[in-house]
Amino acid sequence: MNSIYQALSEIEKNNGSAALCTVVKSEGSTPRHVGSKMLVYPDGKFIGTVGGGDLEHRVLDEAWMAMSDGEPRLLHYNMADPSRGDPGVCGGQVEVFVEPILPTPTVVVIGAGHVGKAVAHLAKWLGFRVAVCDDREEFCTPEVVPGADSYHAVPMEKLGEHISINKRTFLILTTRGSNVDAAGLPALLDSPAAYIGVIGSKRRWATTTKALKEKGVSEERIARVHSPMGIELEAETPEEIAVSIMAEVLMVRDKGSGKPMKG
């Protein structure tokens, strides 16, 4: 059991993911007692056991689904008659609670100018992990953008080699120009990021779109991008623009409508 708790500590430290499966009810003859645990990793490996055999295989399947959809589940199994679909013949009943352990959502700010700095500050305040990326080393430092969790002074197209981009990653492009976006976006469009937003006017995005198409990027991939990004607030200052951008990020993350509350 200690190894499971140690593994949970490592997962939290590395902002990883897993599913913790715990026997929460056991009646009659069952393979494992209440409190037995199994920690399942995305790659199929696991620590501990909730009973072995077909029961464990079924729980493993549910654990992987929980990591995918982010939803916990309470599983109930009879252990009496395999001919009826039961996962055993012990004669008892068992319940297993499956709890997904998901990484903290990460905002990646690409372009550490005035707006990027404001977005990084607000995202951190909202509880996101924050990574800052800029190909200009002098902009990508804790002195320029305080409080981020990591800094990556690399071109945008190389970002995927330095950080893990997953379904809980939100990519915020506050770059200095359309040419930077057109060069770096193709690599990001193939990622599983939850959100890809690009700052700028409709005209700037039209220029970027044209350049992307000339590179062979499909309209389907381009359609993943939110641009101009943000909620319409008539924002002007970097801080106001950051509020607009993060409002849209929260809306996408939490499946909000963006409509006024009084509506």
pLDDT tens for residues 179-227? 999 999 999 999 999 999 999 999 999 999 999 999 999 999 999 999 9
pTM summary value? 0.82
Check residue 29 and give its pLDDT. Answer: 67
User: Among 64, 57, 66, 63, which residue's Cα sits nearest to residue 88?
Assistant: 57
* pLDDT score, position 263: 60
Measured CA to CA, the distance from residue 57 to residue 203 in angstroms comes to 54
Please report, for residues 17, 114, 138, 189, 203, the alpha-carbon distance to residue 155 in angstroms, rounded to integers and kept in the order given: 27, 19, 13, 15, 24
Q: Report the helix count and the strand count for the chain, using DSSP H and E.
A: 7, 11
Please give the single-letter amino acid code of residue 166. N
The sheet with strand 150-152 has its strands ordered as 150-152, 129-133, 106-110, 169-173, 195-198, 225-226
Pair of tokens at residue 154: 């690399």
Question: What ranges do the domains of the chain cover?
Answer: 7-101, 106-254
Provide the token pair at 255.
Answer: 């499946």
The number of angstroms, rounded, from the C-alpha of 97 to the middle of its chain's C-alpha atoms is: 22
Q: Which of 105, 123, 128, 131 is nearest to 17 (CA)?
A: 105
Could you say which residues of the chain have pLDDT below 50? Answer: 85-86
Torsion sign, CA atoms 254, 256, 260, 262: negative
CA–chain centroid gap for 156, Å, is 19
What count of other Cβ atoms lies within 10 Å of the Cβ of residue 96? 27
Q: What is the pLDDT of residue 88?
A: 53
- Is domain 106-254 annotated with CATH 3.10.20.30? no
Find, among 75, 86, 68, 131, the residue nearest to 105 by Cα.
131
Kindly report the CA angle at 207 between 227 and 138, in degrees rounded to 5?
75
Q: Which pLDDT score is estimated for 252?
A: 95
